[in-house]
Structure 1
């Protein structure tokens, strides 16, 4: 039961951080999705058609950056003795990104390119989290950066519950797991929207610290 609770806490934390980072970069970094990188294709196409942004092509950079991050995550995992090492490096990247944002702002050199660099670094961090989810799938209730699959499973479970009630305990458990991921991501998005609007990219410090704490907690496990 303790292990199950621990998985629930880790899932909630990772989904909140993914939703938070995704929304912070979207709000404070020229509508760039850091977790749902394929969403950037839509934003890119929209901006090209509208002719509203000469830097729209930067949205496409999120895809190769994300791929390199996942590959890097796989390499790190091969050498790491602790499966949470990927989350540690994600935390470091987010922490450095947040600090850099504040430093650049304080020095009044926070240009568009500095903003894009911070955003793409965040994309790299989300790539590491994605790699963690794939390599250590039993550590969470499901994908923590992309909710489409979780929502689909929750809808299937809900359909079964409406039809058969709570007779099948596995369906009930599965539905509860999906709710953890979906609600966690939603809470993260809401907090990220507020933080991104009020404080900008510097608020990436918060999820960075949270990731490092998560790693330290699981360091000896």
Structure 2
């Protein structure tokens, strides 16, 4: 299986979401709306560990996406692309999170400034990945939340069993060939994050900046707008 940009980013999203959930008191860095569920559960149970990070994850996500759009517009006004800058910014955010985490992992089961900062850095980086998908990877399958991709695959599977036309079958094959590998990469990222958390905790957040180096290497390997 050829390793391309969407597979690397899908793996990264699965890895970061699982690593943040396990390492930072149930925080979802890539799937930020899930934090409302864990926040509600925490408040109900009385165990409010990581509550501030979960509460501020969505505002942080929104602020970063808003900022990315402004940055992109400023580049467009100068007849340039924001693409390289945004990838480098993701690498920087992941790297700072990795440096802090090496010093302070494992994070205690209470709210601390290192765990909060690492959580917000991860949310910010994944916000950029979400925004860049809408700005530069518009023809690629989503690389973060897999709900929409799973829904589309099941709809396509149902269409396939309804004896569609050859043209429709070709469209379904094409979607499967782009969506399924990214979904599998996401799932693999989740599994690897769990293994690193179990057996090499101190290196948990070192993997994402390495993945960003791989992403930068493969940065042109995507379906053009």
Q: TM-score, normalised by structure 1?
A: 0.85
Over 3 Å counting, the alpha-carbon distance change for 1:215 and 1:76 in structure 2 is farther
Structure 2 alignment gaps of length 5 or more: none
Residue of structure 1 equivalent to 2:87: 87
- RMSD of aligned Cα (Å): 2.8
Residue of structure 2 equivalent to 1:144: 143
In the comparison of the two structures, how many residue pairs are matched? 212
Residue of structure 1 equivalent to 2:197: 196
Residue deviations 1:19-55, cap 9 Å, x none? Answer: 0000001001101000000000000000111111255
How far apart in 1 are the matches of 2:165 and 2:10? 26
Residue of structure 1 equivalent to 2:187: 186
How far apart in 2 are the matches of 1:31 and 1:55? 7
Instruction: Name the structure with the higher helix share.
Output: 1
Query: SS of the residue aligned with 2:143?
Result: coil
* Conservation of the 8 A alpha-carbon contact between 1:102 and 1:202: yes
How far apart in 2 are the matches of 1:47 and 1:173? 42
How far apart in 1 are the matches of 2:64 and 2:113? 20
Query: SS of the residue aligned with 2:205?
Result: helix
Over 3 Å counting, the alpha-carbon distance change for 1:162 and 1:93 in structure 2 is same
Q: Structure 1 residue 209: deviation in Å?
A: 2.0
* Conservation of the 8 A alpha-carbon contact between 1:96 and 1:205: no
Structure 1 alignment gaps of length 5 or more: none
Over 3 Å counting, the alpha-carbon distance change for 1:54 and 1:190 in structure 2 is closer
Query: SS of the residue aligned with 1:163?
Result: coil
Mapping of residues 1-221 of structure 1, within 5 Å: 9-53=4-48, 55-78=50-73, 79=75, 81=81, 83-105=83-105, 112-138=112-138, 140=140, 142-164=141-163, 167=166, 168-200=169-201, 202-218=203-219
Q: Structure 1 residue 84: deviation in Å?
A: 3.7
How far apart in 2 are the matches of 1:176 and 1:165? 18
How far apart in 1 are the matches of 2:218 and 2:190? 25
How far apart in 1 are the matches of 2:40 and 2:134? 29
Query: SS of the residue aligned with 1:137?
Result: coil
Q: TM-score, normalised by structure 2?
A: 0.83
Q: Structure 1 residue 138: deviation in Å?
A: 3.3
Q: Structure 1 residue 105: deviation in Å?
A: 5.0
Over 3 Å counting, the alpha-carbon distance change for 1:82 and 1:163 in structure 2 is same
